[in-house]
């Protein structure tokens, strides 16, 4: 009879289950999707993040002087879906577990993640070029050219280098064939 009395007694014995939050710490799961963050050194400025963004929160605009690309993520329309993180080819976007996003109205339009992705400079001619996957392609060869080397120069210079290499390798190839 009256099973709720048993529950009430148990509740009193166990004591409050309230967490200390507004006055103390709270538990935040490690994988909680909170504020998104961009690592500008990894970003390729490919724009897939703004393409897949459900809330249309990401805008990428090239700066007027062509020095780089501005990445702007407005937290006030981000749904924390994590699609940008999932689709980012360079793992430049990560969803942190920071959820302290509430702000006053005056900060409404400044509550953004703004990063400037600077275009790297070609080592040969000094022109600006699109960033590449330095880290991943630093090993191995493309043909006979070291990738690390070729990725640091702009496409024009790259074509030139490649052509030069081809001429050289043709010479060496014919030499090799005659040897065998």
Partner 1 sequence: MHKYLKRFVHKSPWLYRINAGSCNGCDVELATTALIPRYDVERLGCKYCGSPRHADIVLISGPLTTRVKERVLRVYEEIPRPKITVAVGICPISGGVFRDSYSIEGPMDRYIPIDVNVPGCPPRPQAIMEGILKACEIWKKRIVEVA
Partner 2 sequence: MVNDYIHAGIAMLIFPGGLFALATGLLFKGMDRIAVARLQRRVGPPMLQPVFDIIKLSTKEILVPESANETVFKLAPMMGLMGSLVCAALVPIAGVWNGIPGAGDIFVLLYLFSLPALSFILGGSSSSSPFGAIGFSREMVIMFAYEIPLLATLLAVAVRADWQLSLDGIIAYQTANGPFLLDPIMIPAFLAYLMFIPGTMGIGLFDIPEAEEEVIEGPVLEYSGPLLALFNLMSAVKLMVVLNLGVALFFPLLLPGGIWVNLPFHLVKCLALMLVAVSLFRASTGRLRIDQAFNFFLKYPSSLAYVSLLGAYLLR
Listed in sequence order, the residues at least 6 apart from 40 whose beta carbon sits closer than 8 Å to its beta carbon are 71, 92, 115, 116, 117, 118
| Residue 97 φ then ψ, to 5° | -95, 30
Q: Say how far apart CA 31 and CA 28 lie, in whole Å.
A: 9
- CA angle (107, 60, 114) in 5-degree steps: 35
Both structure tokens of 30? 């490690």
Closer to partner 1 by Cβ: residue 1 or 27: 27
Closer to partner 1 by Cβ: residue 15 or 140: 15
Both structure tokens of 76? 């006030």
For position 17 contacting partner 2 by CB under 8 A, the verdict is yes
The SS3 assignment for 105 reads: helix
For position 82 contacting partner 1 by CB under 8 A, the verdict is no
Candidate ranges 44-52, 71-79, 119-127, 137-145; the one touching partner 1 (CB under 8 A): 71-79
State the nearest-atom distance from the C-beta of 34 to partner 2, in Å.
Answer: 26
Closer to partner 1 by Cβ: residue 19 or 156: 19
Q: Residue 8 touches which of partner 2, partner 1, none (CB < 5 to 8 A by kind)?
A: partner 2
Number of residues that bind partner 1 (CB under 8 A): 29
The SS3 assignment for 78 reads: coil
For position 178 contacting partner 2 by CB under 8 A, the verdict is no
For position 21 contacting partner 2 by CB under 8 A, the verdict is no
Q: How many CA atoms lie within 13 A of 95 on its CB side?
A: 20
For position 16 contacting partner 2 by CB under 8 A, the verdict is yes
For position 6 contacting partner 2 by CB under 8 A, the verdict is no
For position 47 contacting partner 1 by CB under 8 A, the verdict is no
The SS3 assignment for 179 reads: helix
Residues near partner 1 (CB under 8 A) are: 16-19, 21-22, 26, 32, 54-56, 74-81, 99-105, 107-108, 111
């Amino acid at each position: 009879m009256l099973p709720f009395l048993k529950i009430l007694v148990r509740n009193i014995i166990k004591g409050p289950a309230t967490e200390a939050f507004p006055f103390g710490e709270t538990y935040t799961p490690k994988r909680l999707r909170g504020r998104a963050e961009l690592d500008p050194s990894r970003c390729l400025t490919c724009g897939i993040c703004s393409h897949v963004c459900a809330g249309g929160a990401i805008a990428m605009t090239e700066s007027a002087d062509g020095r780089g690309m501005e990445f702007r993520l407005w937290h006030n329309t981000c749904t924390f879906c994590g699609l940008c993180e999932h689709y980012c080819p360079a793992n430049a976007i990560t969803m942190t577990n920071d959820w302290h996003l509430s702000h006053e109205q005056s900060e409404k339009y400044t509550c953004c993640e703004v990063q400037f992705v600077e275009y790297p400079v070609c080592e040969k001619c000094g022109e600006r070029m699109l960033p590449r996957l330095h880290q991943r392609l630093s090993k191995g060869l493309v043909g006979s050219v070291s990738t690390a080397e070729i990725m640091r120069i702009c496409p024009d210079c790259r074509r030139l280098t490649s052509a030069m290499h081809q001429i050289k390798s043709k010479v060496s190839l014919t030499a090799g064939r005659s040897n065998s």
